[in-house]
Amino acid sequence: MKESQSKFIDLRGLKYHCRTWGDKGAPKLFMLHGFQDVSASWQFTVDALQRDWFVIAPDWRGYGLTEWTKSDNYWSLDLLGDLDAILDEFEPDLPVLLVAHSMGANTAALYSGAKPKRIHKFVNVEGFGGPPSRSEEAPRRIAKWMQQLVRGEEQRPYDGFEDFAERMMAENPRLTPERAAFLVQHWGQQEADGTVVRRADPAHKFVAPLTMRFEESVACWKGITAPVLWIEGQESGAAINASRDPERYEARLAAFQNLAGVERVAEAGHNIHHDQPEALAALIEGFV
């Protein structure tokens, strides 16, 4: 495995952790993780990269080694402010190469449309975006959010790292024992009673009381000027949506005015960076 380094920066009131690989003088490649994930999940993809890169991968607020917020809630748009500050920290002057997965990809797509001059190329890995919101759902969603504020949320405890790894492999049969054992050491932290819980603030599990309208997301996507490579797993929800509702799927793709290509990775689900990191790395380098 390629060795990673940790850098902690003061960012918007939080102690933010960024994991880096490679020499600082090499071309920079930013990698953003998804929901309930951490920066170390990119290890297998980084190992498969063939040329020299300086890879920068943050743990989003409330994940991994980044500090939790002092409030009892997280707002998805805060990630846009965090990303802007991270890019300014590591690459303040030049447009960046951005690779992002799932929640990180949705964040990156909004950012790339809002600040198009900051992005040189964007690799969107499973960043399909959410479903169109319906105003009549707002009362139920807000009520559930308030209920969660009162009762709180918890991360599920596991008997140990081995138990955690077995659970991850049960949820994703493509995850090898070696990769699962590596991931849970970064996903999990051991409590005083010996159990292991995920390194993620349970408040991330709260529903969003107010959501960004889907039309607003599309407007941001249309503002992206950088070339975009869309990558999805052949067995993922994105691929399923494409077959179930091809019109809606094509409409989302059409929102990216500079779409360089759509790649579907065989024998991969949503977490392509776990299932087929070698194929993902080859697609990334072939594009950027």
- Three-state SS for the chain is CCCEEEEEEEECCEEEEEEEECCCCCCEEEEECCCCCCHHHHHHHHHHCCCCCEEEEECCCCECCCCCCCCCCCCCCHHHHHHHHHHHHHCCCCCEEEEEECHHHHHHHHHHHHCHHHEEEEEEECCCCCCCCCHHHHHHHHHHHHHHHHHCCCCCCECCHHHHHHHHHHHCCCCCHHHHHHHHHHHEEECCCCCEEECECHHHHCCCCCCCCHHHHHHHHHCCCCCEEEEEECCCHHHHHHHHCHHHHHHHHHCCCCEEEEEEECCCCCCHHHHCHHHHHHHHHHHC
pLDDT score of 133: 75
The values of phi and psi at residue 71, to 5°, are -100, 180
pLDDT score of 241: 72
Mean pLDDT for the stretch of residues 32-48: 98
Q: Over the chain, what is the mean pLDDT? A: 94
Is the pLDDT score of 117 beyond 80? yes
Residue 243 lies in a domain: yes
Mean pLDDT for the stretch of residues 251-267: 94
Query: In the chain, what percentage of residues exceed pLDDT 90?
Result: 85
- Quote the CA–CA distance of 32 and 100 in Å, as a whole number: 4
pLDDT score of 240: 74
Is the pLDDT score of 271 beyond 80? yes
Category of 192 on φ-ψ map: left (φ > 0), alpha (ψ -120 to 50) or beta = alpha
pLDDT score of 66: 98
pLDDT score of 3: 97
Residue 231 lies in a domain: yes
pLDDT score of 41: 98
Lowest mean pLDDT among 105-119, 125-139, 224-238: 125-139
Q: Quote the distance between the C-alpha of residue 57 and its chain's center.
A: 10
Residue 169 lies in a domain: no
Q: Count the Cβ atoms, other than its own, within 10 Å of residue 92.
A: 8
Is the pLDDT score of 26 beyond 80? yes
- Quote the CA–CA distance of 69 and 14 in Å, as a whole number: 7
- Reported pTM: 0.95
Mean pLDDT for the stretch of residues 36-55: 98
Residue 114 lies in a domain: yes
Mean pLDDT for the stretch of residues 11-18: 96
CATH number of the domain to which 17 belongs: 3.40.50.1820
pLDDT digits (tens, 9 = 90+) for 150-165: 998 999 999 999 999 9
Q: Count the Cβ atoms, other than its own, within 10 Å of residue 226.
A: 20
Is the pLDDT score of 243 beyond 80? no
Residue 184 lies in a domain: no
Q: How many domains, in total, are found in the chain?
A: 1
**174 contacts 275 by C-beta, under 8 angstroms:** yes
pLDDT score of 87: 98
Is the pLDDT score of 67 beyond 90? yes
Quote the domain boundaries for residue 27: 4-133+212-287
pLDDT score of 105: 97
More confident residue, 76 or 17: 17
pLDDT score of 251: 87
Is the pLDDT score of 120 beyond 90? yes
Residue 127 lies in a domain: yes
Residue 79 lies in a domain: yes
Residue 25 lies in a domain: yes
Characterize 163-202 residue by residue with b for buried, 16 or more Cβ atoms within 10 angstroms of its Cβ, and e for exposed.
Answer: ebbbebbeebebbeeebbebbbebbbbeeeeebbbbbbbb
